[in-house]
């Protein structure tokens, strides 16, 4: 079965492969072995921590099938914990002259760190053969189930930066129109700095005054709030969950920044906690469920056939072994219907 679990040190070679394959722009997967190893160690410490509040933790998950790692995704408990988390905020500025009877509303971008401290979903990458199937949806949503089970560790608002548009030569129209004029660096070099160092240099060099969108080249305007083809599936999954992309964009490539209140996210608000029952025979009306254990360090989440009877979720012995649960344990579950929205 497809299973999501916390990352291990032994997964480092797979994580290196994902970092290399994810390419420019996915700064939460730096193509640097030492930094990836540090990320795994930090994740292990986060899962093992006995905390009751949101902090600097990072939780990294992997998707596996029969021991083969097929993808990875992460949660950053507090975006920008050590430094401000920068984005452009979409704004409308009004320029009016009563004497000339002119009243113009102009779209502008203002650099801000409104989203600093919010819980960030990131580091999402799966093998191409998995992207179009249920595995990608399981991996993305398992993080939300984990948040639902450990609410004190995360903020009330969730965010996700998605990869923006760039061409085959790794040129970003948005970056070329703004960032390159202040950094004298191409898009790939700027993203590498962010991935391996920090975003603090952004505040030092980028303009802090509003940028009037109508003054930008058409190519830059057209990619604002858009996502790279590689990010279309993750975008669709989060949109189905209730995330929206109206107010913010990425400062480098102009990609969409999704936001949602945790209480409005489908896998958080509609999932329920059940006791586990184990039987080789499912109750009548069994269906496919997304099921997650309620543990932290031994968290497991998977898609499996299950049925409900007397507020008990009945699963097979093999499924119980995969989730590392026994009869009477608590699990969180929501009925899964594949592509599109699940049952209410």
Which pLDDT value is given to residue 220? 96
pLDDT at 170 over 90: no
| The one catalytic residue among 125, 150, 228, 282 | 228
Higher per-residue pLDDT: 168 or 12: 12
Strands 68-76 and 87-97: unpaired
Is residue 180 within 8 A of residue 186, CB to CB? The reply is yes
Q: What is the tens place of the pLDDT at every residue in 291-313?
A: 999 999 999 999 999 999 888 99
Which pLDDT value is given to residue 1? 86
What are phi and psi for residue 76, nearest 5 degrees?
Answer: -100, 115
Which pLDDT value is given to residue 49? 93
Mutual orientation of helices 33-48 and 12-22 as an angle, nearest 10°? 120
Which pLDDT value is given to residue 59? 97
- At a CB cut-off of 8 Å and minimum separation 6, what does 237 contact? 136, 137, 140, 141
Distances in Å between the alpha carbon of 33 and those of 39, 98, 191, 193, 231? 10, 61, 17, 16, 24
Tokens of 153: 């560790």
Higher per-residue pLDDT: 189 or 93: 93
Q: Which helix (H) or strand (E) holds 219?
A: helix 218-223
Is residue 71 within 8 A of residue 47, CB to CB? The reply is no
Q: Give mean pLDDT, residues 254-277.
A: 96
Is residue 288 within 8 A of residue 342, CB to CB? The reply is no
DSSP 228: -
Average of per-residue pLDDT values in the chain: 89
**% of the chain with per-residue pLDDT over 90:** 67
> pTM (2 decimals)?
0.91
Question: Is 228 marked active-site?
Answer: yes
């Amino acid at each position: 079965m497809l299973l999501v679990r916390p990352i291990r040190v032994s997964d480092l070679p797979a994580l290196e492969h994902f970092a290399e394959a994810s390419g420019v722009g996915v700064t939460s997967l730096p193509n640097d072995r030492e930094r990836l190893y540090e990320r795994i160690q930090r994740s292990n410490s986060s899962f093992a921590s006995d905390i009751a509040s949101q902090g600097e933790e990072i939780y990294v998950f992997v998707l596996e099938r029969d021991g083969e790692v097929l993808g990875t995704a992460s949660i950053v408990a507090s975006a920008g914990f050590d430094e401000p988390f920068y984005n452009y905020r979409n704004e409308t500025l009004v320029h009016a002259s009563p004497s000339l009877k002119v009243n113009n509303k102009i779209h502008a971008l203002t650099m801000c760190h409104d989203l600093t401290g919010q819980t960030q979903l990131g580091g999402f990458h799966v093998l191409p053969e998995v992207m179009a199937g249920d595995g990608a949806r399981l991996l993305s949503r398992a993080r939300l189930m984990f948040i639902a089970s450990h609410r004190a560790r995360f903020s009330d608002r969730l965010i996700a930066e998605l990869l923006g548009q760039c061409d085959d030569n790794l040129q970003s129209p948005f970056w070329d129109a703004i960032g390159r004029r202040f950094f004298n660096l191409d898009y790939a070099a700027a993203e590498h700095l962010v991935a391996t160092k920090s975003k603090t240099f952004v505040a030092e060099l980028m303009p802090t005054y509003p940028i009037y969108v109508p003054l930008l080249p058409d190519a830059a305007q057209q990619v604002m709030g858009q996502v790279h083809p590689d990010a279309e599936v993750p975008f669709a999954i989060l949109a189905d969950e209730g995330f929206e992309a109206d107010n913010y964009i990425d400062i480098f490539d102009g990609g969409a920044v999704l936001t949602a209140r945790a209480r409005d996210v489908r896998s958080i608000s509609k999932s329920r906690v059940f006791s586990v029952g184990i039987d080789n025979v499912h109750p009548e009306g069994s269906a496919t469920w997304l099921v997650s254990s309620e543990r932290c360090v031994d968290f497991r989440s998977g898609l499996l056939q299950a049925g409900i009877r007397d507020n008990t979720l009945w699963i097979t012995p093999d499924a119980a072994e995969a989730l590392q649960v026994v009869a009477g344990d608590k699990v969180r579950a929501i009925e899964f219907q594949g592509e599109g929205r699940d049952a209410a």
